[in-house]
Chain A
Amino acid sequence: MKFSRRFERIIRWYPSAWRARYGEGLAALLEDTYGERPVPRGVRVSLARAGVVERAREAGVVGSATSPNDRLRAGSLLVLCGWSFFVVAGAVFAKFTEHWSLATPAAHRTLPSISDATVRGAGAIGAIVVIVAGAFAAPTVVRLVRTQGWSSIRRPVLRATLAVACVATMTTGLALWAHQLSYQQRNGGLYPYGIGVLVTGVAALVAIATVTESVITISRRLNFSRQVLRLLSSLALALTLSMSVIVTAVALWWASEAMYAPHFLGSNIGGILDNSRAMPPALVIAGLLMLVGLASATVGAARVLGGLKGA
């Protein structure tokens, strides 16, 4: 690829294989069209969008040109991406709902109790599904390392390990600090602690994104057997079902608490996100993350079903 540096950044939105095939032609078109003038912002945005679409096509996320196997793989990865949103949202939800039963009248605890237990149960099932999927994928990863060497996956593995180590260190530090604080200080009384909680939360979010990206990068290099791919796809469908159950249970818990214990929804996280309405920001954020995750998983599940049908 020798296209001008001027257009290099614009064309970077496209996947490398596409750039190798069409990059030169596109750069020539931009040069012929705009000459020495700057490329208009609207065109840059349009090219960025087109590049992202091209990446999604290459990954098998959209388009019908990919093989059923590619669709199964891409669909399963999309479901995994969706699950990563649920990990973050689940942590926020778990923190927010601590001691909810103490604040809820005994006569109105049945529905939120069932909902809470369902969220935890479906979350545990989801986690088991991900672990089982990892176990099924492990032999293929070992085979890749044996045939192509450790260097083939070193970068993404190191990136993910570093991200997880950072978050583990921050969480450990925060936990040690928390042990020296009173209940009030831990729950909004000490502003720096609240900031620490928020920063650790953001770091966890970044770490989860990094780990997910690394898993996607590695799994795209794996040559799964048809049998393993079908198994992973079935697990992806089960994971999507778990996520649907979690969203439904969270919605029921939320509605029930808003009706019978609205004062509880005024709780806060680390003194940063707090108010006293039925739409607490922490819960809204968790809900939105879950919806985004479920949307991603649903699209993935549809790809998986399409792949299974086309197989």
Chain B
Amino acid sequence: MTKRALANADGLVRANAPAFLILTSLASGPKHGYALAKDVEAFAGVALGPGTLYGAITRLEERRLIAATPIEERRQPYVITATGRTALASAVRDMRALADEGAARLRLRDAKPQPRPSASGAAS
């Protein structure tokens, strides 16, 4: 993977980037703001603040990586688009390549994945 590939990933490659986390969450189905925040906190241990979450949603929708679906009881659900899936897949491949490189350099290639400790990241 080249530096250019990283640059093209547009900030999605960072595992804690809100855009990456939101796309990952939406990959399993449509969600509204609160459900997204809770899901991200559950699988990544990152608490996305409302400002960060909606800032990322705005950018992702502008770039047509996600789309709004009809409002349900005042809540606006979002769904990942085909372009979003492609971008997420590309970012995941890039991250996997980086992780493999790190594992190889640390000689962790045969190591079994460790269960995630009770992480508590924060992004307000």
Q: Interface-forming stretch among A49-57, A90-98, A139-147, A267-275? A: A49-57
Least Cβ distance of B75 to chain A in Å?
Answer: 5
| B71 CB within 8 Å of chain A | yes
Contact of B58 among A33, A46, A49, A54 (CB under 8 A): A54
Query: Given the known A-B contacts A22-B57, A50-B55, A65-B62, are A29 and B37 also in contact in the complex, defined by CB atoms under 8 Å?
Result: yes
Q: Which residues of A contact B52 (CB under 8 A)?
A: 46, 50
Q: Which residues of B contact A24 (CB under 8 A)?
A: 71, 74, 76
Looking at B53, B62, B71, B76, the one whose CB has the most chain A CB atoms below 10 A away is B76
Q: How far, in angstroms, from A29 to B36 measured CA to CA in the complex?
A: 10
| A47 CB within 8 Å of chain B | yes
| B51 CB within 8 Å of chain A | yes
Over the window 26-39 of chain A, the binary record of Cβ atoms lying under 8 Å from chain B Cβ atoms (1 yes, 0 no) is 11111011000000
Least Cβ distance of B64 to chain A in Å?
Answer: 12
| B contact face: mostly helix, strand, loop, or mixed | helix
| B32 CB within 8 Å of chain A | yes
Contact of A49 among B34, B51, B54 (CB under 8 A): B51
Cβ contact within 8 Å between A29 and B54: yes
Q: Which residues of B contact A42 (CB under 8 A)?
A: 124
| B33 CB within 8 Å of chain A | yes
Interface size on A, residues (CB 8 A): 21
Query: Given the known A-B contacts A24-B71, A50-B54, are A32 and B34 also in contact in the complex, defined by CB atoms under 8 Å?
Result: yes
Closest to B57 in A: A22
Binding site for B on A (CB under 8 A): 18, 22, 24-30, 32-33, 42-43, 46-47, 49-51, 53-54, 65
Give the 5 A-B CB pairs with smallest separation, nearest first: A50-B51, A29-B33, A25-B76, A32-B34, A46-B51
Mind listing 27 A-B residue pairs with CB under 8 Å? Answer: A18-B58, A24-B71, A24-B74, A24-B76, A25-B57, A25-B75, A25-B76, A27-B74, A28-B33, A28-B74, A28-B75, A28-B76, A29-B37, A29-B50, A29-B54, A32-B34, A32-B75, A33-B37, A46-B49, A46-B52, A47-B49, A47-B50, A50-B51, A50-B54, A51-B51, A54-B55, A54-B58
